Amino acid sequence: MLSYRHAFHAGNHADVLKHWVQMQLLQHLAQKEKPFWYIDTHAGAGCYALDSGYAEKNAEFESGIARLWQAAGLPHALADYVATVRQLNPDGKLRLYPGSPLVAQALLREPDRMRLFELHPTDHQILAENFSGQEPRVLVQKADGFAALKALLPPPPRRALVLIDPPYEEKQDYQRVVEAVQEGLKRFATGTYAVWYPQLQRSESEGLPKKLKRLPVKAWLHVALHVQTPSADGFGMHGSGMFVINPPWTLHATLQQVMPKLVALLGQDAGAGYVLEQQAA
């Protein structure tokens, strides 16, 4: 359970999709003056070095953020995401990559709050160091985000983005995601919930969006990016998806503009493509 380290995958194609969509959701919440909370159930270490350690070993960022780093003609919304990564790399060389907590920090305003959960002891320590001295605006807890989420909802301002992206190393994580969203909606039906999941040739992965669509909600949006043809041996991740409950009404149109560009930049073979579907309120 505690063997997963996101540093191996930092900045890959799945991170690009996840963090770019995360930015769209946070920017929408920030359009109103009223404060909001950002809740991250599986926050990771917060920031990752791409030129050393785990990230350098797999170098998955080379088929992810590195392909956008010098790309010309990016849609405005996608260029904003790259600019956020550039804030960590002021000399123009891609060395550091922000995890979801740092992506959120770049967009939160003074009255907004972050609640970050990470169970892995090493990643929790790094995460806590990254946000040291920022309490009570940012609270970092060494805890199971699934279990901890219940106590936070509804948040005091009644506005929040909840990001749920477990490692999915255990099959039970898929069901725990569904249960966490179900429980969250009972306490905080108007919140925005964003679920990231890997596209694998496994029934649990393929069935997760279907289960989320059956939840009693008025509006949802599902976007998935396939970067390659599924492997013949059935192993490996060929893409990833984001399922958003209570999405901004503008998100679908933004995705229609950006997803073809992401396919062109991140696609690895003829199997590259995307899925975009929604249920509007």
Instruction: Answer whether residue 57 is part of any domain.
Output: yes
Q: What is the CATH number of the domain that holds 84?
A: 3.40.50.150
15, 40, 112, 165: the active-site residue: 165
Give the pLDDT band of residue 229 (cuts 50, 70, 90). very high
Q: What is the pLDDT averaged over residues 108-123? A: 95
pLDDT for the residue 272: 97
Give the pLDDT band of residue 86 (cuts 50, 70, 90). very high
Instruction: Answer whether residue 267 is part of any domain.
Output: yes
pLDDT for the residue 56: 62
Q: Which of the residue ranges 18-32, 44-58, 99-113, 153-167 would you say has the lowest mean pLDDT?
A: 44-58
* Statement: residue 2 has pLDDT above 50: no
Cβ partners under 8 Å of residue 14, min gap 6: 64, 196, 198, 225, 237, 239, 240
Q: Identify the domain containing residue 118 by its residue range.
A: 6-279
CB half-sphere exposure, 79, CA atoms < 13 A = 6
pLDDT for the residue 3: 45
Instruction: Answer whether residue 198 is part of any domain.
Output: yes
Instruction: Answer whether residue 1 is part of any domain.
Output: no
Instruction: Answer whether residue 52 is part of any domain.
Output: yes
pLDDT for the residue 120: 92
Query: By three-state DSSP, how is residue 165 classified?
Result: coil
Instruction: Answer whether residue 147 is part of any domain.
Output: yes
Instruction: Answer whether residue 181 is part of any domain.
Output: yes
pLDDT for the residue 232: 85
* Statement: residue 53 has pLDDT above 80: no
How many independent structural domains does the chain possess?
A: 1
Query: What is the rounded distance in angstroms from the CA atom of residue 267 to the CA atom of residue 278?
Result: 23
Cβ partners under 8 Å of residue 33, min gap 6: none
Q: What is the pLDDT averaged over residues 100-118? A: 97
Cβ partners under 8 Å of residue 271, min gap 6: 226, 228, 229, 230, 238
**Which residues are registered as beta bridge partners of 113?**
37
pLDDT for the residue 1: 46
Q: What is the mean pLDDT of the chain?
A: 94
Tell me: the pLDDT tens digits for 170-209? 899 999 999 999 999 999 999 999 999 999 999 999 999 9
Give the pLDDT band of residue 48 (cuts 50, 70, 90). very high
Q: Which of the residue ranges 18-22, 51-55, 128-132, 203-207 would you say has the lowest mean pLDDT?
A: 51-55
Q: What is the pLDDT averaged over residues 109-134? A: 95
Instruction: Answer whether residue 134 is part of any domain.
Output: yes
Q: Which of the residue ranges 135-139, 231-235, 272-276 would you say has the lowest mean pLDDT?
A: 231-235
pLDDT for the residue 234: 80
Query: What is the rounded distance in angstroms from the CA atom of residue 132 to the CA atom of residue 125?
Result: 10
* Statement: residue 55 has pLDDT above 80: no
173 in active site: no
Q: What is the pLDDT averaged over residues 75-104? A: 96
Query: By three-state DSSP, how is residue 211 classified?
Result: helix
Query: What is the rounded distance in angstroms from the CA atom of residue 236 to the CA atom of residue 223?
Result: 20
